[in-house]
Amino acid sequence: MLSSDEELKPYECDGLAAYRVVPLLVVLPGSVEEVQAVLRICHAEGVAVVARGAGTGLSGGALPHEDGILLSLARLNRILAIDPDNGCARVQPGVRNLAISEAARPHGLYYAPDPSSQIACTIGGNVAENAGGVHCLKYGLTVNNLLAVEIVTIEGDRLTLGGGGLDGPGYDLLALITGSEGMLGIVVEVTVKLLPIPQRAQVALAAFDDVEAAGQAVADIIAAGILPAGLEMMDNPSIRAAEDFVHAGYPTQAAAILLCEVDGGNEEVSEDIARVRQRLLDSGASEVRTASDDAERARFWAGRKAAFPAVGRISPDYYCMDGTIPRKHLPHVLREIARYSKESGLRVANVFHAGDGNLHPLILYDANNPGELEQAEEVGGRILELCVEVGGTITGEHGVGLEKINQMCAQFPPEELQVFHDVKAAFDAQGLLNPGKAIPTLNRCAEFGAMHVKAGDLRFPHLERF
């Protein structure tokens, strides 16, 4: 247990460093039984509990409660079993995402979801936020790659959701717990699917002189019936930042680049990469390169996966959004983001999981300048609300946490929010698990609605009901 100011300070925030709260205590259990004991005490005493993995989350989901316990699962970090015959692995929540694939590689297997933080992020946090990654267009998010999850409830009871097969009896509570942000139970064990390592993978890098043309190329590739393993987009500020940081060989003069990877058998990849190259050229690419070997392929991806820290080198602070939109609206949304940037005077670097419409605009600001954080929050909120307006959602993989809780009011009407509260109460009647996150109160939404009415811009008709 950690209790001194020096010990508690490192736990005051997750990857969203703009929000900071020092917890009352930090507890680091070394076994599931110790997790159960902690939760039973907190339940009996009415003490709030916030679970934390590696702290790489970007939505404030692991932000502590000032009068509560921060429950770190870092010591539950063992790979319990690799089962190549059944294509699965049993792991504790503190196991790093990348470590699963490293352990499975001798068997010719790997774990598909690959967040950019996979070298550090843990599988428990991936389950809590339903994390994605650059290869989730073809292979799905965390929820699509799980077989079972074991949780401990706030009362200290141990439950197994899912099973060893592709489907299980009863309600699909496994899907419910995935992405629940630690509000329904504490994940203490995860059974993940393992897939055969593809015989071959090849990536094409396409440069575009126009950001909107790159956005349209994404839709053109999917419309052609091609399903890439990954389809990523970066605009010029992120290209320049990544190239300066990683030296990936990116064309720094391009307005945008697309990275399109196909995988499978040798013949299949040869055919698909040729189709991809032609489609990119037809869509207006000024240049298309194909990685000549695995080393060049790794460099191309290294630049993309290092985009967030790279942008951090060119700005004192940045605010990362996580909206998702239908692909057909990508050019329109890019135009609007550019307009918001110009109106606010804050630069925006765009990095996208373009294939599945998951946007990661990075709003650059300096927290040392009074009012800039609030300005960045306003721009971020407008981007998320735009995603809702075009038929998308406010989060694709980072979760709601504290960051997007106001925009939940834009996404969902009161009746649906009440259902969320009812589900929460069924698992945690006292509201002790990660309180104040993910699901706004109806009063909060009423204030959010009043703010938009006062501004003369009621963009969400259901807010009139408050």
Q: Which residue has the tokens 């929050």?
A: 377
Instruction: Sketch the domain layout of the chain as residue ranges.
Output: 5-72, 82-196, 200-310, 311-465
CATH T-level assignment (fold) for domain 82-196: 3.30.465
Q: Two tokens at 204?
A: 């094409």
Q: Two tokens at 345?
A: 């005077």
Query: Could you report the per-residue pLDDT of 220-243, keeping only the tens digit for each?
Result: 999 999 999 999 999 999 999 999
Q: Two tokens at 198?
A: 């593809």
* Cα distance between residue 11 and residue 26, in whole Å: 8
pLDDT value of residue 465: 47
pLDDT value of residue 458: 52
Q: Two tokens at 393?
A: 């959602």
State in words which class domain 200-310 has. Answer: alpha beta
For the entire predicted model, the pTM comes to 0.93
Neighbours of 267 (CB within 10 A): 10
Neighbours of 381 (CB within 10 A): 18
Q: Average per-residue pLDDT in the chain?
A: 94
Pairing outcome for strands 256-264 and 358-365: unpaired
pLDDT value of residue 3: 94
**Is it the case that residue 326 has pLDDT exceeding 60?**
yes
Query: Could you report the per-residue pLDDT of 384-411, keeping only the tens digit for each?
Result: 999 999 999 999 999 999 999 999 999 9
**Cα–Cα nearest to 109, from 127, 86, 129, 132:** 86
Q: Do 27 and 68 contact (CB within 8 A), yes or no?
A: no
H/E element, 174 = helix 173-177
State whether the Cα torsion 412-418-421-427 is positive or negative. negative
**Is it the case that residue 52 has pLDDT exceeding 80?**
yes
* Cα distance between residue 285 and residue 279, in whole Å: 9
* Cα distance between residue 40 and residue 432, in whole Å: 11
pLDDT band at residue 69 under the 50/70/90 scheme: very high
pLDDT value of residue 426: 97
Q: Do 377 and 366 contact (CB within 8 A), yes or no?
A: no
**Cα–Cα nearest to 351, from 58, 99, 18, 52:** 58
CATH of domain 311-465: 3.30.70.2740
Q: Two tokens at 172?
A: 């699909």
* Cα distance between residue 131 and residue 113, in whole Å: 8
Same fold, 200-310 and 311-465: yes
Q: Do 227 and 208 contact (CB within 8 A), yes or no?
A: no
* Cα distance between residue 145 and residue 324, in whole Å: 20
pLDDT band at residue 447 under the 50/70/90 scheme: confident
pLDDT value of residue 461: 57
pLDDT value of residue 464: 52
- φ/ψ of 281, rounded to 5, equals -65, -40
C-alpha distances in angstroms, 143 versus 192, 359, 455?
10, 19, 39
**Cα–Cα nearest to 364, from 317, 309, 304, 307:** 317
**Is it the case that residue 456 has pLDDT exceeding 90?**
no
* Cα distance between residue 80 and residue 91, in whole Å: 5
Nearest 5°: the CA angle 38, 440, 142 is: 65
CATH of domain 5-72: 3.30.43.10
The DSSP secondary-structure symbol of 258 reads: E
Rounded mean pLDDT of 197-215? 95
Residues 6+ apart with CB under 8 A from 327: 218, 219, 222, 354, 355, 356, 357
Q: Amino acid letter at 428?
A: D
Rounded mean pLDDT of 191-214? 96
Strand spans (E) along 343-435: 348-353, 358-365
Characterize 53-77 residue by residue with b for buried, 16 or more Cβ atoms within 10 angstroms of its Cβ, and e for exposed: bbbbbbbbbbbbbeebbbbbbbebb
C-alpha distances in angstroms, 161 versus 87, 88, 113, 426?
18, 16, 20, 16
pLDDT value of residue 466: 42
Q: Kindly state the greatest CA–CA separation across the chain.
A: 65
Q: Two tokens at 15?
A: 């990857």
